[in-house]
Amino acid sequence: MIRRRTIAAIACAVLALGWLASPVLPEDADSVSSVLQARDGTVLHMASVDDGRIRLPVDLAAVDPAFIAALIAIEDRRFHRHVGVDVLAIGRALRSNLSAGEIVSGASTITQQLGRQYRPRPRTVPTKMIEALEAVRLDLRMGKREQLERYLTRISYGSNIEGIEAASRIWLGKSARYLTVDEIALLLALPQSPEARRPDRNPVAAKAGRDRIIDRMLDADLIDPDMATAAKLQPVPTARQALPDRDILAHQTFGDGISTLDPDEQARATRLLAAWTTRQAVPVNAAALIVHAPSREVRALVGTGARHHAGGWIDMTDRVRSPGSTLKPFIYAMARDDGTLDLQSDVRDAPTRFGSYRPENFTRRYHGQVTIREALQHSLNVPAVMALHAVGADRFRAAMSAAGPQARGRIGDAQGDGLALALGGTGLSARDLVVLYTALANGGEAGPLRWTPDAPEGDRYRLVSEATAAAIVDALRDAPVPKGFANMQGVGRVAYKTGTSYGFRDSWAAGLAGDYVIIVWTGRPDGAPRPGQTGRASAAPLLFDLAAPFLDDDSSQRVTEAPEALSTLPSETDRGPVILFPADGTDVLASDRGLSIAVDSDEPVTLFVSGQAVRKEAGLAVWTPRNAGFYKISAVDRLGRSANANIRVVTRDQIVDAPPQFR
């Protein structure tokens, strides 16, 4: 018999130890709403947990101490002295209930209520005994501070609201760090009857419950009579505060916790992009990045201006698109560092072939002799391709890669040795571009973006020299401004570059303003064309609006009428026509079908070949050479302005090393 009792005792002890050692909390005990916070702690986005509840984590240090004192005084006076179960409170409750003949008082401690939050059970005597045992186990395994933090994280406040921080933000519109007497009383009263006292549905019951708590705070000497009277005069809130949820795309990038985002700049950028999309005649979207150049911290990220538009859920700051002409400053910068050219170097902007690749200016006009500085400011294509040809497309790609951005794919340059890269013939994202332009702002030194305040500095890479970076930025400050803006004199001006991808699919503006770098993209997420929507017309106005607060002397401002461009570059076609094909100095193959002569001119022209007028067929000037040899093509407009191209016509058997089928 004794042996059996010993075995039974040992078994009970083992079971008791196993029960004490088993997990005290369920697997989802730590599930809370994910929250994106700005650099100052402002909540920018709040998401619900899986069951749709808003449950924010609680740090006791971030809760008003007066609330904690009132909670313990009213709910569990001996919280810091008992071991999960308050025996004295149980005895008091039994006496009160027996004398009243009904249940008028409970004895559940905060620890018991915490266990009930995780494992709700029917309110019966056996379950109360189980809860008491679990409370002891919780108290043995968990400190008092952790118990309070977990309790205040999951306590119900009605609807889908759990925890004091969520309740304070939703009902009071503020954090629980600083609370008034009436706010403390309301946040203590609501959990006692979460649904019956919901302020938005029954403000009378909410006020009555709050006022009873104020009386109990007065009885506990937590407040004086004057404070109690003043607190009862305060109205209770009657509506829920809207949760911050506009920054869902930023939340996907930054995740939970403190970010580098500036709440004011994030809100301003969100507002400006939303207003811009609303003004557009057709559904279109926009995205923007703002980076503080000295720290490389991302201060604003707006992935979409209109979430309700098609593709509005896509973060367009992270999508790879053609960058248009936004890479030209870096091409010229590398060429300058190589000693190939200077910004004051002269170059001829005219039709030019690079092997089989023949770039054209966006306007299909050419400007003759220009400086590299002017070519950059007016985004001329031929000089940029010349510069890239000198630098080397593969070397330029390698330099970008070393700085961080990875150019994806080659567009339109299968036979051009990668030279279409100068005109957007690759894929980059807004995040890639902001790394490059931040390098310009930091004296040519590139580094990774920083997304959290404690992020490491990361490795630096010298993309271009400091002197070259300064020269490029200075040139970009003199670029013609978008319509409706003025860019006054001084170092406070916006230094910017625009870009437009092939087919008007993407419009870009990248700029430096004060200590900040701004990238703006406008377009359609599906890549559909938007005829006529250039970077200067579509994206640049947004850039200038975003840049305005960063300028030391308020030097960027909107004007009622579009000002004259601060820097004008006369087009050579303003002085006469330009022969696009055949280009001057080229060889052309004789053909029985003739040659179509292409001319760019603002005025009607008459064409001559070696003094003979050229006939037109279906509106096209077609010339059929009689023999091989040298010819002079002349185009004369009605104002008497002319252009000439000297060419040589060759036959198939004159083509050196041509395959037999072409001879």
Catalytic residue positions? Answer: 75, 325
Nearby residues of 546 by Cβ (< 8 Å), 6 or more positions away: 268, 269, 272, 288, 290, 518, 520
Measure the CA–CA gap between 379 and 324, rounded to whole angstroms: 10
Considering only CA atoms, which of 296, 371, 291, 293 is closest in space to residue 332? 371
Residue 371, helix vs strand vs coil: strand
Residue 148, helix vs strand vs coil: helix
Q: Which residue intervals of 40-86 are DSSP H helices?
A: 65-75
Nearby residues of 467 by Cβ (< 8 Å), 6 or more positions away: none
The answer to whether 545 and 557 have CB atoms below 8 angstroms apart is no
Measure the CA–CA gap between 145 and 59, rounded to whole angstroms: 9
Measure the CA–CA gap between 296 and 517, rounded to whole angstroms: 9
- Which residues are bridge partners to 631 per DSSP? 647
Considering only CA atoms, which of 474, 408, 411, 464 is closest in space to residue 436? 464
- Sort strands 495-500 and 516-523 into parallel, antiparallel or unpaired: unpaired
Type of residue found at 258: I
Residue tagged 């406008």 (tokens): 522
Considering only CA atoms, which of 406, 549, 565 is closest in space to residue 480? 565
Measure the CA–CA gap between 410 and 380, rounded to whole angstroms: 21
The answer to whether 429 and 447 have CB atoms below 8 angstroms apart is no
Type of residue found at 31: S
- Sort strands 620-623 and 578-581 into parallel, antiparallel or unpaired: unpaired
Nearby residues of 576 by Cβ (< 8 Å), 6 or more positions away: 601, 637, 639, 641, 642, 643
Q: What is the DSSP string of 309-376?
A: STTTTS-TTSS-B--TTTTHHHHHHHHHHHTS--TT-EEEES---BTTB----TTS---EEEEHHHHH
The answer to whether 416 and 356 have CB atoms below 8 angstroms apart is yes
- Sort strands 587-589 and 642-650 into parallel, antiparallel or unpaired: parallel
